[in-house]
Structure 1
C-alpha cells in the first residue's frame, strides 16, 4: 500500500475494505488500489452518478462538433411522449428541465428489492426506459432538481445524434482519445470484465452490479484508479472532450452552481468542481481544484460515503508547496 492509499484508508476508516484512489498535482500523478486483489490499479469500479459528468462532457463535445445545438430538444433524437418531446437538452444538462428523479411505476418495488436482496434497480434497456415515459409529468415552473431520468435521456439523445449506442460513444470520444483502457459501460452482467470489483453494501454483502443500457449515461460508467488519474489530468488541462462542461453556467442547490452535470462550489474553503455517486455497492467522488491544479478521485466498494475523505485529500494536496 502506498502512502496515498494509506492516507485515504485512514480518512475513510476501517469499514472501507476495498477502494481505489487517484491524486493529481502539478508535480505528479499517484494511484493506489486497496483490497482489489492482483488486479490492483487496473481493477474497475462503478462510478455511479459521476457518469453524469461524463455525459455532460459528451453533450458539450457534441455541441462543438455541430451534431447538436443549444436549442435541440429530446423529440428530435428519441421517441418520447409529447409532454417530453420539447424538452431542451441544455435544460437536462443542468437538472432544470422539470423532470422527476425517476420514471416507472415500480420504483417502490425496485427500491425494496435493492435494500432486501441487493438487486440492480436499473436493469432495463433503452427501449424499456422509453416505454416507462408515458406517465411522466414535467413541472410547469421547473426549478433545479436532480434527475437520474433526465441524464439517462440526455446521454441517449447525444448518442443517437452521433449514430451510436451510449457505451460506444464513451469509448470513442472519452476512453480511446485519452488512452483509458479500463473505462467502459457495461450494458449487462456479461459485459463486466475480469477486473470488475464486486459491489458490496453497508453490511459487506456482495450485491448485483449496476449494469444496463438505460442507466449508462446516469450511472453506468466503470473505471480504474489508473484511468481516473488520466481523466483528472485531462480535466485540469482541459484536453478532455467537452471540457467546457466543467464551467458553471447556472445556480443549483445552496451556493453551488452547475455546468453540464458538474457542480462547482466551496469544499473546505476551496472552489471545487466535482461530482459524487452512489450505487447498490459503491460510493464515489471525482473533483478538481483548478486554482491549485489538483484533482482527486476516490471510489469505495461500500455504501458508506467517501465525500469527506476525498475533500480532505483534495485540500491537503492543494496545501502542498
Structure 2
C-alpha cells in the first residue's frame, strides 16, 4: 500500500491510532508523532497489522493499526502476541550482561569453559573464542547450520538442532581468529544461549525468565506459548504473501530468534533499560564492544551506518539530528521487527509489522530513526527522570 491514493484508509488508520494513543499518554507531541509515524509505516508496509511502542522519559505510548490476522477485523494492541525474531539476541545480551555484572560469567571467558561435559570445541589456531566474541558476531562462525539429515516437508526450523551444532563444533574450527572478522551469526547466539544455560544451571528460557523477564513483569515474553496465550498470537504474511503458519522454533533458536513478546512487554523492557536502574548491567549492555574500524571484514552487521557492535546491538553515533542509538532488527514467522534505544535521551521505540518483506523494512528503519529525531533531536535537552 502507498499513502497516495489511500486517503480513506489513512484517515481511518489515523482515527484508530489517535483513539488508541489517547488512552496512553497526555503528551500531545508524543501522541501525534507516534500516530503519524505508525500510520505512514502501516500504509507503506503492506502488512495486515502494525504496532508501535514508544517510551520517552516517564511517558509510554502504544498504538496499533490494521488487523491481528488477515480478515480478522480485530485491531492489534499492547497484548497482541508477536514474534521478536532476532530482537531475541539483545535480550540474550541482557542476560549475559546481568550474569557478568553479578560475577556469574565473564565476557572474556572462553566459550569452552561452558561446554557440556564430554564435548570438545575446535579453535582457530589455538585461540579460543569468548562469550564476548559470540555476542558481537566475531567468533568466526557461520550464519546458519542446518542439519542435512533433517529432510522433508513440515517445520522448516526442525533442521536447527543443538546436538548438530555441538557435533559441528567438534569437527570444524571457526573460519577466522576471534575478534578479527564480523559475520552475523545465528549459530553464535544459539551457542551463547547454551553457554549461559550451562553457567546458570538451567535452560536458557528458564534462566531468561528468572533473571530478566519475570522481575520486569514480562509474562508474555517466552520461547514457547501456552494454550492460553496462543489465541492472542498475530498472524503475519510470509515472503510469498501467504499467512505464515508460525512454526515453533527449536530450543537452540531461542537465544538467537525464538522469543515471542507483546508491545506491552517491550515497553516494560525499554523502560528498564532507560530507567537508570541496574547500572552495572546497563554499563555492559549499552557499551560499544567491537568497533567496525580495525576489523578485516564485517558482513551483515550494518557496517555502513554504524560504528560497531554491542551485546547484540548495532551502535550508531548521533548524526543528522538523530541521537546516538542502539538498534536491533528481526524477521521471523510472518513478522518484521525493529527496536532502538537512545539511552542518553531516555527514548525507546519498538515496531512490529506482520509481514516478512526485507525491502519494506528499510522504510520502517528510516521511519523509526526519523521518529527518534523528532522526539529527541540530537543536541536538545534530554527529558528529566
Same fold (TM over 0.5): yes
Cα RMSD after superposing both structures: 2.9
CA deviations over 1:66-106 (Å, ceiling 9, x no partner): 21123322222224543159321121111111111122354
CA deviations over 1:147-194 (Å, ceiling 9, x no partner): 1111110112112211111111121111111111221112x8979633
- Are residues 1:146 and 2:184 paired? yes
The Cα shift of 1:54 comes to 0.7
Shift of the 195–280 alpha-carbon distance from structure 1 to 2, 3 Å rule, reads closer
Structure 1: 5+ residue stretches without partners = none
Task: State which of 130, 133, 137 in structure 1 corresponds to 2:173.
Answer: 137
SS in structure 1 opposite 2:181?
A: coil
Which structure is larger by alpha-carbon Rg, 1 or 2? 2
SS in structure 1 opposite 2:209?
A: helix
- Are residues 1:289 and 2:329 paired? no
TM-score by length of structure 2 reads 0.73
Task: State which of 213, 223, 242 in structure 1 corresponds to 2:281.
Answer: 242
SS in structure 2 opposite 1:283?
A: strand
Residue of structure 2 equivalent to 1:46: 83
Question: How far apart, in 2, do the equivalents of 1:223 and 1:251 lie?
Answer: 30
- Are residues 1:318 and 2:376 paired? yes
Higher relative contact order, structure no. (Cα contacts within 8 Å, ≥ 6 residues apart): 1
Residue of structure 1 equivalent to 2:43: 13
Task: State which of 301, 309, 317 in structure 1 corresponds to 2:354.
Answer: 301
5 Å-filtered alignment, 1:175-254, equals 175-186=213-224, 193-209=230-246, 210-239=248-277, 242-243=281-282, 244-252=284-292, 253-254=303-304
- Are residues 1:160 and 2:198 paired? yes
Residue of structure 1 equivalent to 2:17: 2
The Cα shift of 1:273 comes to 0.9
Q: Is this contact kept in 2: 1:120–1:208, CA < 8 A? A: no
Shift of the 269–123 alpha-carbon distance from structure 1 to 2, 3 Å rule, reads farther
Structure 1, 143-152 or 75-84: larger mean CA deviation: 75-84
SS in structure 2 opposite 1:235?
A: helix
The Cα shift of 1:124 comes to 4.2
5 Å-filtered alignment, 1:113-124, equals 119-121=155-157, 124=160
Task: State which of 129, 137, 160 in structure 2 corresponds to 1:87.
Answer: 129
SS in structure 1 opposite 2:85?
A: coil
SS in structure 2 opposite 1:144?
A: strand
Question: How far apart, in 1, do the equivalents of 2:320 and 2:237 lie?
Answer: 29
Residue of structure 1 equivalent to 2:327: 274
Task: State which of 93, 106, 114 in structure 2 corresponds to 1:56.
Answer: 93
Q: Is this contact kept in 2: 1:47–1:278, CA < 8 A? A: yes
The Cα shift of 1:123 comes to 5.5
